[in-house]
A = this chain, B = another copy of it.
């Protein structure tokens, strides 16, 4: 089965907004083994939208079109759909009720222009909206189909998962269920990760069609993710396959995997600290608050995060954290910072960062030189050094993530 994605919006063609919908939909299609060979972006223009939809329908079984379902005069996806289907656009009583209900639920006045959102090409079916005000549409064209969804990402995603994916799967005649699981990794380069996973990929290749699949997703500061997808007759069987694949991948990758599905680095560290009944404090130099900010992103962080010190000026490091007179970008300094902030904040664990973010050198060291330190109750502080590459902001971000991942590995290793 082949599907493609069409994004509608002049703001996309002017570069005023970056389209993230198409990649999200494409990932969803790939996860259910629907091929996607093309994505197209087109402006708010009836003739051009319908031309693009016709081209897409000629080469694919299904088209997902996003955007242009709003109430303003430049929202013309409905008109283009009617043209492609060669039918009239008519106000639908059920659609009108849905739009009225959406406004009522929000205690908002419905303007006459919102009635346009209740117009449907003849023969189209509604996808009731749950988040915004615009219903989605399922438009059959012969044996093929166009799904029209709102351009607002949250509204689009909810409808895609609830209505489009199940309909696509039914049309493709695929039996059973599809389930997937994301394994989050940090600290291993993409090519090295590829080599580590290669033996498992070779085994799955021999299983072939119908067996589980593994995809690599490069997610920047969230790390490289492995998405395992399994098809089966029941959800239970699919989950058993995912469990088996996860175990096999953990065997190959080891503690390079830090989290599963929605488990971010901060959530994982929080869980480890809670399990060990410990609290954490951080002292940051070049990362300047990024480490603390990442930790606080985890809901409920107040259970285990005491706080931090951003000791940016060297004098601040000496004044608060008890650093001696030596260089501040050094393993001695980062060890003293970790111990200092642990004491200062009354935490069980102290994590510290120091380094050169650039663009200038510092203490004769080039940009990208960095250290992290961990102080634990009753132990000598441990220190690690990193060499980071990139611009100032990139060095800071990589350094923050590397430091957090090193803490995560340390906590895990303690058992």
Contact = CB atoms under 8 A, between A and B. Distances in A.
A288 interface: yes
A23 B18 contact: yes
A170 to B, nearest CB: 22
Between A42, A301, A310, the greatest number of chain B beta carbons within 10 A of the residue's beta carbon is seen for: A310
Task: Report the interface size class on chain A.
Answer: 35 or more
B299 A305 contact: no
How many copies altogether? 2
Contacts of A289: 284, 288-294, 296, 308, 310
A16 B30 CA distance: 10
A12 interface: yes
A22 B37 contact: no
A227 to B, nearest CB: 9
Given A39-B12, A42-B37, A393-B297, A292 B302 contact: no
A288 B316 CA distance: 19
Interface stretch (A86-94, A157-165, A177-185, A211-219): A211-219
A27 to B, nearest CB: 3
A312 interface: yes
A22 B41 contact: yes
Nearest to A35: B13
Nearest to A294: B289
The 10 closest A-B pairs by CB, nearest first: A15-B27, A288-B296, A289-B289, A289-B292, A289-B293, A15-B26, A39-B41, A308-B310, A307-B316, A15-B23
A121 interface: no
Nearest to A314: B302
A299 B359 contact: yes
A301 to B, nearest CB: 7
A263 to B, nearest CB: 16
A103 B198 CA distance: 29
A50 to B, nearest CB: 13
A288 B299 contact: no
Interface in A6-43: 11-20, 22-30, 36-43
